[in-house]
């Protein structure tokens, strides 16, 4: 009887640990981890884009401030001449960012609201991120 009771206690503890493991997302990235990864890819790519459009004379902490808060970027801070190829690539990137940003905000609203993200939204975001990374 005592042996059975001890076995039952061990079993309960084991299942409690398995449940905690599942909740913490072990065995794969959790939804928030995936979202953080997606957000960070976007942010990193955006920083690279800003590095390419900002005047080379802007450097150091000022450049970092502009990356952290791009609203501060004004026309006089931007490069004014690009090679044709460079201009095409950067124009395409700007287009992707313009399409991707509202989708990513919507995606994050689903995540923060604890709702399932629609598959077509995820598909659109992945496609656009692939385009960003391909350029």
Partner 1 sequence: MSQEATVNMVAGLVSLAVEFAAASNIAKEDVDRIYAESYEKVKAKDPATHAHPDFDEATEGGGE
The distance of closest approach from Cβ of residue 99 to partner 1 in the complex, given in angstroms and rounded to an integer, is 9
- Please identify which residue in 57, 61, 74, 120 interacts with partner 1, judged by CB under 8 A: 74
Instruction: Give helix 31-53 / helix 60-68 axis angle, nearest 10°.
Output: 130
The distance of closest approach from Cβ of residue 120 to partner 1 in the complex, given in angstroms and rounded to an integer, is 20
SS3 54: strand
The residues near 52 (Cβ < 8 Å, ≥ 6 apart) are: 79, 86, 90
Phi, psi of 25 (to 5 degrees): 80, 20
Binding residues for partner 1, per CB under 8 A? 2-3, 6, 9-10, 13-14, 16-17, 20-21, 23-25, 30, 32-33, 35-36, 39-40, 42-43, 46-47, 53, 56, 68-75, 77-84, 86-88, 90-91, 94, 97-98, 101, 104-105, 108, 111-112
């Amino acid at each position: 009887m005592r042996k059975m009771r001890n076995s039952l206690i061990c079993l309960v503890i084991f299942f409690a640990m398995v449940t905690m493991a599942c909740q913490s997302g072990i065995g794969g990235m959790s939804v928030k981890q995936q979202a953080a990864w997606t957000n960070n890819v976007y942010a990193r790519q955006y920083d690279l884009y800003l590095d390419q459009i900002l005047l080379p004379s802007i450097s150091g902490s000022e450049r970092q401030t502009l990356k952290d808060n791009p609203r501060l970027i004004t026309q006089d801070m931007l490069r004014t001449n690009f090679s044709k190829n460079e201009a095409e690539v950067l124009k395409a990137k700007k287009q992707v960012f313009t399409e991707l940003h509202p989708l990513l905000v919507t995606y994050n609203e689903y995540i923060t609201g604890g709702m399932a993200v629609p598959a077509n939204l995820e598909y659109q975001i992945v496609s656009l991120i692939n385009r960003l990374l391909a350029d």
